[in-house]
Structure 1
Amino acid sequence: MTNKKTYILLILMILPIISQLPQAHARENHPGPTWIWYPGDYEIWLSNKMQARRTERGAFFPPLWRYYSPYALVTFNKEFSVPETDTVMIRAEGECKIQLDGKMYSGDPEKMTIPPGEHSITIKVYNQEKTPALFVEGQYLKSDPSWKVTFEDKEWIDESGRASGQSGTEWQQVGSWDFNTAETLPSGFRLATQPQYTVAVQEEGAGFIADFGKETFGYMRLHGLKGKGKVKLYYGESEEEARSAEACETLDEVGFNGKQPEVYTLKNSKAFRYVQVRTEGGIELDSVSMQYEYLPLEYRGEFQSSDDLLNKIWDVSAYTMHLTTREFFIDGIKRDRWIWSGDAYQSYLMNYYLFFDNPSVKRTLFALRGKDPVNSHINTIMDYSFYWFLGVYDYYRYSGDKAFIRQVYPRMVSLMDFCLERRNDNNMMEGLPGDWVFIDWADGLSKKGEVSFEQLLLARSLETMSLCAGIMDDADASSRYKKLAAELKDDIFRAFWSEEKQAFLHNRVDGKTTDKITRYTNMFAIFFGYLDEQQEQGVKQNVLLNDEVQQITTPYMRFYELEALCEMGEQEYVLDEIRDYWGGMLELGATSFWEKYDPQEKGADQLAMYGRPFGKSLCHAWGASPVYLFGKYYLGVKPTSPGYATYEVRPELGGLKWMEGKVPAPEGEITVYCSRNEIRVTGAGGKGTLVFKSRNVPECRGAKPVKTGDHIYQLTIAPGKTYRVKYKHLK
């Protein structure tokens, strides 16, 4: 009886722990069968559907770039053995043809009997409208990442990433996500929904204005419908927008014939906080609610501190990030609801400190890249092609996922070939017909000639190629890309670095370098590690802390500006900037963070953009950067080798009295508490190193901090173990 009671108590203790396991981590290690497809095809198909949903004032508004399609016919193959008779069920999204040991199988694919022994199974799946996908479930034979796949180029791709049958350059494995039962069809994927209700309703004329209390996204529901007529809905992220039937960005008009149900849910999801509802004819309704639409993800990252404003900023940043994390990482939920590479790159980084959802990163990278041949930059934007490479680099650094590198490497090679072929005689990039050189939304910013910022991004992209070629065991390619990166960096310094101004100059046009200094190249060079200490200090004083250099007014580039300052130890200054900039949006009533915020703008100008009175997005992914900054530069957690095999914890209070939080890693959460006299850290995954400064000799029960410099100490962190360090804070 005692053993039974002990067992029950043990189960009760374990269950809460199991329920809190990271969803994304559990998903990626699912041991059973899963739906599989040609890698990237489902992601392309799903992104096409999602990005074609954008409307402006009821009009269809498709993306501005090329659409790709899944392969219509895909062939899967598996060499396997079974120790005893195995009854296997085979299902496909599409028509399928099965061969077992080279012979056509004509029986019931849902109850296929396979005798003991060694076997080879080949399954062709055809589907012109959806992604050809396969699900196989038996006791021994299951569809999983070990299957080989081809799109009829006569080249098999196996789980090692090596092509068999010929010496091709594709190194991939089948794609999969979270479809782990036969009934969970990939083509049937839908985001989750849950009801939300208004917090206030204001009667007005032939209708009312409903307030849902905060920025949200989903499907409007009309309650108590009676009679015939029209219901018109005008959506607004602000009350001013919802009130403007003539200028609001999104709207709906629905006609009813008297036979409608009492409760009606609109077919298209929208972003809004306020909705103006008007009726025409004899139609009546009692009230409205909505079905909030979202991607179910666990908030694994946390942050709290002695500053309530910063806590609020983190909370709103996390909510902004979740709103824009949907089927993919998108830019904004009102418009464009597209996958932009520059926006997505920042979302990847914020994701690593909030959700650590690897599937969302991989889906987005696949969708952005599309297929070969390459005939334009990603999103048609030069810098966005380079951000795509940087996204791959950081994904490997945080996840350690070599399998994904094998899948995506051929597409990396072809995109880089495209970029290198477009260099000029100086081996530098400049905008060619059809190219959009974006950089940032900034008045008077020149995009002409050889822009130093673009060259810097290309150099980092080449370093990414060298790293990934090394993972592919392609030593020659790795060496070639590394050499190209080093040569380009030398050329960048020769062409753009000014010893006199201790800063990079902006661009070179027709062989002449301009005198203009902008922040972009200079701040990226800092966190890329391209500057020595003297150069960093020069950039810090002459650019980043120099008000005469054109100011940045988008959260997009504030992200990088503040990261560069944090890299140089300016955490206290950065917190003041965050309080002022993000706190300024909160003072104006923001419940999610904006596409652009200029404190100099007043009244209606705060909502306008692109020449439209409500063109500005008030929920934009790049507005959520405090999630990343607080996790990496205040809690101080970052991987120092791929997948957190080793990592660093370097807490920086930045003037706070105390702070605490969690940073997700592949094998759990790293928890950090820091005050002016105590640091507590609990490790997760690999080998961690706590780095901190102390006025006195610190103490830690069960471990001894080691002095490594002037007032600098280190402590090794073991997985799952908590360390409590008594010290005296040294600014």
Structure 2
Amino acid sequence: MKNLKKLTLLSILICLTFPIFAQKAQWIWYPGDFDIYMGNVMQNRRTERGSFFPVFWKMDSHYVLVDFHKEFNLPAAEEVKLFVEGTYNVKIDGKAISGFPKSITIPAGKHKLSLKVYSTAQVPAIFVQGKTVVSDETWLATFEDKEWIDASGKTSDKSGTTFVNAGSWNMTDPLSLPSKFKLPTKPIIAVKTEKINKGFVTDFGKETFGFIKIHGLKGKGKLNIYYGESKEEALSVSHCETLDLLELDLASKTDSVMELSKAFRYVNIQPEGSVSLDSISMLYEYSPVAQRGSFKSSDAELNKIYEVSKYTFELNTREFFIDGIKRDRWIWSGDAYQSYLMNYYSIYDAPTVKRTLWAQRGKDPVTAHINTIMDYSFYWFLGIYDYYQYSGDQKFVQDIYPRMKSLMTYIDGRKNKNGLLEWMPGDWIFIDWADKLSKDGEVSFEQLLYCRSLETMALCAKLANDEASAAIYSKQAAELKSKIFELYWNKEKSALVHSRIDGKQTDNVTRYANMFGIFFDYFTPEQKLAVKQNVLLNDKVAKITTPYMRFYELEALCAMGEQPYVLKEMKSYWGGMLKLGATSFWEEYNPEKKGDEHLAMYGRPFGKSLCHAWGASPIYLLGKYYLGVKPTSSAYQTYLVEPNLGGLEWMEGTVPTNNGEIALSVSKKEIKVKAAEGIGTLRFKSAVKPSVKGAVIKEVAKGLYEMTIQKGVEYVVKYQG
């Protein structure tokens, strides 16, 4: 009885409704539909100074009529509970059951259970719960059943129907409707309040996100709420990016929670008329995911950079991976692609990756690039295969592959006479926020991403058992790669030039194509060294001032063994933001700017996001290139651990996998490693012959050693780093 009292009424109801031995059911829908629906809900919450600010691109919707079915072979008759969002009918073996039943009995034997659901306001969804008859992703769904009825009334010909596996978000409570889904919240109190004019400014101590709660609100008049990521923004009633302006007439004190969530650290509350209030607090809104990855080292500043990166990433992990919490709160593909990579080294949350990819893509027909940005379409392709490599989820690749093909068909149809991509009406070529960055002509960066996307399509086609298309994509990629080096490689500059205009190379060399060429492994060893010296380490080449592209620049350098240099750069760049008081990392940081210049962007004094997902890239760099952990086959069946202290005295951390973590501790004399997954290879350099118990160490090159890591075994390697 003591444990029973701890159950909520909802839990008790479910326990009484369903036998405890029943298999677990979940809400299901047409794959991608709920992701698109929730993406629409979330992205259209954006406001700018109280005005609705919709997205720039086409928004698709869910299918309004969906047919669900599955066949069961029951040893005995089974009672089945039905929960449905929408108007529906139910059939057993094609025979309709009258009315809108909440419960049905399926006879023993082999039977087909079908539900057809209609809804325009919400996503058609079902939750089916019996002892063995349960709704899950093994059910089949279609949005058109292509049947016809002849003169005798016979229903025939579903041969043209395409059935796909249902989608879900692992929602296992039948009484919590998908359309009512919300992220959880928890109360947070402010750390400081300062009286300003007739009201006050409250400081919550660090960047945060959620709903303001007003306590003891009373009176008639106005209550003006101005939000700020900085104190300057909160105090700027004319220029702060977000605000709430309330008209009130309250006879007695009440508590009130704002309808829309906001990003802020500071909140400026100013009452007018007879309005008064006691205080404010907040409800912090968050995604309930666990932090599984970790990193700690001998460098206190680097540890702080890592922790702030983790917090920045936490704030931007919501129903989806979003760009930033203050301004856009949209699902930008370029931002999300970096979030996927950070995710694999921190929370390792597969569902958020999948639903972000579904929501970005939307439905056919394709009428524009993802987010209207050419490069963002390519990041979408890359994100799918990366997800497979880290998770091993081949089913997801197969489910989304038809939408990969239709997007690539759209892109292939926009090539110019030279077989290259360049700006066409409706395209946005982004690359990066950088002054005087030309987007004219045939930009080499876009061709590299296009080539990598074709290679990705070939890999995913094989996973989807489409060998014919895999051969076509492989051929396209090889031809384009050859063309890139023929048209863009400049021997005198020992680099890829930025673009071609009117069939001729421009004189401009930028970092973008060259650094991607390094970690795409497109260069010869000689070309890599030349690019490193002539581009990446060359101060005469325009510098990058966004964390977005610093991510790739530093990855390219790490891929070439420049961890000591990258460590200094991380401490200088991200450490520079910390020295300016950052509690989360920014959309853009230029060390040459001063004072309030750091807050401005887009021609607005507070337009810059001070909490942007792409600012959290040290999570990825430290996990993949310092701890040195990466899968070499899908889902860490095999993997490489290649630690690099990069100037640190010691470091330790964990990298998450499907079934546990890979734990690593490294000093200059000892490496400890233990893994819960797969078979790994530890590769390291040592000035002396290393030793270890329980394994064999082989010298694979002068001073370079390897050993095999077996699952569940802790190894302690003695060496001289």
Coarse TM-score class (shorter-chain normalised): over 0.9
Q: Which residue of 1 aligns with 2:447?
A: 455
Partner of 2:610: 618
Counterpart amino acid of residue 604 in structure 2:
R
SS in 1 for 2:411: helix
* Partner amino acid, structure 2, of 1:246: S
Shift of 1:171: 7.9
In structure 2, the partner of 1:320 is: 312
The answer to whether structure 1 residue 565 and structure 2 residue 557 are counterparts is yes
Offset, 1:502: 1.0
Deviations 1:685-727 (A, max 9, x none): 1111111111111111111212111111111111122111111
Matches within 5 A, 1:578-657: 578-657=570-649
Number of the residue aligned with 2:466: 474
The residue that corresponds to 1:149 in the other structure is 141
Matching residue of 2:187: 195
Partner of 2:486, secondary structure, is: helix
Does structure 1 residue 378 correspond to structure 2 residue 395? no
Is the counterpart of residue 248 in structure 1 residue 262 in structure 2? Answer: no
The match for 2:172 is 180
For the residues of structure 2 that align with 1:96 and 1:712, how far apart are their CA atoms? 65
Q: Aligned pair in 2 of structure 1 residues 490, 172: CA closer, same or farther (>3 Å)?
A: farther
Distance 1:273 1:417 in 2: 45
Name the SS of the counterpart of 1:681 in structure 2: strand
Structure 1 unmatched ranges of 5 or more: 1-29, 156-163
Q: How does 1:479-628 map to 2 (within 5 A)?
A: 479-628=471-620
Cα shift readout 1:42-63 (whole Å, capped 9, x = no counterpart): 0000000111100000000000
1: CA distance, partners of 2:291 / 2:630: 18
Deviation at 1:166, TM superposition (A): 4.5
Structure 1 residues 171 and 446 mapped into 2: Cα distance closer, same or farther (>3 Å)? Answer: farther
Instruction: Work out which of the residue numbers 215, 224, 240 in structure 2 matches 1:223.
Output: 215
Match of 1:118 in 2: 110
The Cα of 1:110 is off from its aligned counterpart by 2.4
Q: Does 1:102 align with 2:94?
A: yes
**How much does 1:181 deviate?**
2.0
Equivalent residue number for residue 278 of structure 2: 286
Q: 1:167: Cα distance to partner?
A: 7.4
Asked if the contact 1:329–1:344 (Cα under 8 Å) also holds between the matched residues in 2, the reply is yes
Structure 1 residue 291, shift from structure 2 partner: 0.5
Alignment partners' CA distance in 1, 2:176 and 2:712 = 36
What whole-Å deviation, never above 9, does each CA across 1:611-632 have from its counterpart, x for those lacking one? Answer: 0000000000000000000000
In the TM superposition, what is the alpha-carbon distance from 1:154 to its structure 2 partner?
Answer: 3.3
Change (3 A) 1:165 1:691: farther
CA distance in 1, matches of 2:445, 2:652: 36
2:416 alignment counterpart: 424
Matched, 1:59 2:51: yes
1:604 Cα deviation after fit:
1.4
Cα 1:167–1:687 shift into 2, 3 Å? farther
Partners in 1 of 2:512 and 2:302 — Cα distance? 26
CA distance in 2, matches of 1:179, 1:291: 23
Alignment partner, residue 3 of structure 2: none
Q: Is the 8 A contact 1:527 1:564 kept in 2?
A: yes
CA contact (8 A) 1:317 1:627 kept: yes
Asked whether 1:719 is paired with 2:711, we answer yes
Partners of 1:153 and 1:534 lie apart in 2 by 58
Q: Any stretches of 5+ residues in structure 2 without a counterpart?
A: 1-21, 148-156
- Quick check: 2:632–2:639 contact (8 Å CA) kept in 1? yes
User: Which whole-Å CA distance do the structure 2 matches of 1:258 and 1:419 have between them?
Assistant: 57
State the shift of 1:108 in Å.
6.3
Query: Structure 1, residues 185-230: CA drift from partner, whole Å, max 9, x if none?
Result: 2111101101111111111111111100000001111112232222
Task: Give TM-score scaled by structure 1 length.
Answer: 0.93
Q: Once the 2 structures are TM-superposed, how far is the Cα of residue 261 of structure 1 from its aligned partner?
A: 4.7
Residue in structure 2 matched with residue 21 of structure 1 by the alignment = none
The answer (yes or no) to whether the contact 1:172–1:408 under 8 Å persists in 2 is no
Alpha-carbon distance in 1 for matches of 2:183, 2:592:
39
Aligned match for 1:667, one of 659, 664, 673: 659
The code of the aligned residue for 2:234 comes to A
SS at match of 1:109: coil
Q: Answer with 176-185 or 343-352: which moved more.
A: 176-185
Amino acid aligned to 2:50: G
| CA distance in 1: counterparts of 2:704 and 2:447, whole angstroms | 37
Give the corresponding residue for 2:434: 442
CA contact (8 A) 1:644 1:686 kept: yes
Structure 2 residue identity aligned to 1:344:
A
Confirm or deny: 8 A CA contact 2:649 2:667 kept in the other structure: yes
Contact 2:84 2:126 in 1 (8 A): yes
**What is the TM-score with the length of structure 2 in the denominator?**
0.94
Deviations 1:98-147 (A, max 9, x none): 11012111266322111110011111011110100011111111111111
Task: Report SS of the residue matched to 1:351.
Answer: helix
SS for the counterpart of 1:330 is coil
Structure 2 Cα separation of the partners of residues 99 and 273 of structure 1: 54
Instruction: Please give the secondary structure, in 1, of the residue aligned with 2:272.
Output: strand
Give 1:68-79 correspondences, 5 Å limit: 68-79=60-71
Q: Which residue of 2 aligns with 1:8?
A: none
What is residue 77 of structure 2 aligned with on the other side?
85
- Contact 2:142-2:163 at 8 Å conserved across structures: no
C-alpha separation between the residues in 2 aligned to 1:106 and 1:146? Answer: 26
Relative to 1, partners in 2 of residues 1:31 and 1:623: Cα closer, same or farther, differing over 3 Å? farther
Structure 1 residues 171 and 648, CA, compared in 2 at 3 Å: closer, same or farther?
Answer: farther
Equivalent residues of 2:672, 2:714 under 8 A apart: yes
> Matched residue of 2:377: which SS?
helix
Given candidates 199, 203, 207, the residue that maps to 1:207 is 199
- Deviation for aligned residue 1:548: 0.2
- Partner-residue secondary structure (3-state), 2:254: coil
**1:277 corresponds to:** 269
* 1:355 equivalent in alignment to 2:347: yes
* Amino acid aligned to 1:125: V
What's the % identity of the aligned pairs? 58
Instruction: Please give the alpha-carbon distance, in whole angstroms, between the structure 2 residues aligned to 1:636 and 1:522.
Output: 23
Cα distance in 1 between the residues matched to 2:194 and 2:82:
56
Is 1:685–1:719's contact at 8 Å kept on the other side of the alignment? yes
Q: Is the 1:356–1:664 contact (alpha carbons within 8 Å) kept by the matching residues of 2?
A: yes
Tell me if structure 2 keeps the 8 A contact 1:171–1:410: no
2:603, 2:112 → 1: CA distance?
Answer: 62
Measure, in 2, the Cα distance between the counterparts of 1:439 and 1:260: 55
Separation in 2 of the partners of 1:352 and 1:654? 22
Letter in 2 for 1:526: I
Q: Secondary structure at the match of 2:38?
A: helix
Q: Once the 2 structures are TM-superposed, how far is the Cα of residue 479 of structure 1 from its aligned partner?
A: 0.6
1:171 and 1:409 in contact (8 A); partners too: no
Pick closer, same or farther for the CA change 1:486–1:261 going to 2, 3 Å.
farther
Distance 1:372 1:494 in 2: 35
- 716-725 vs 454-463, which deviates more? 716-725
Counterparts in 2 of 1:432 and 1:599: CA distance versus 1, 3 Å: same
Aligned residues between the structures = 691
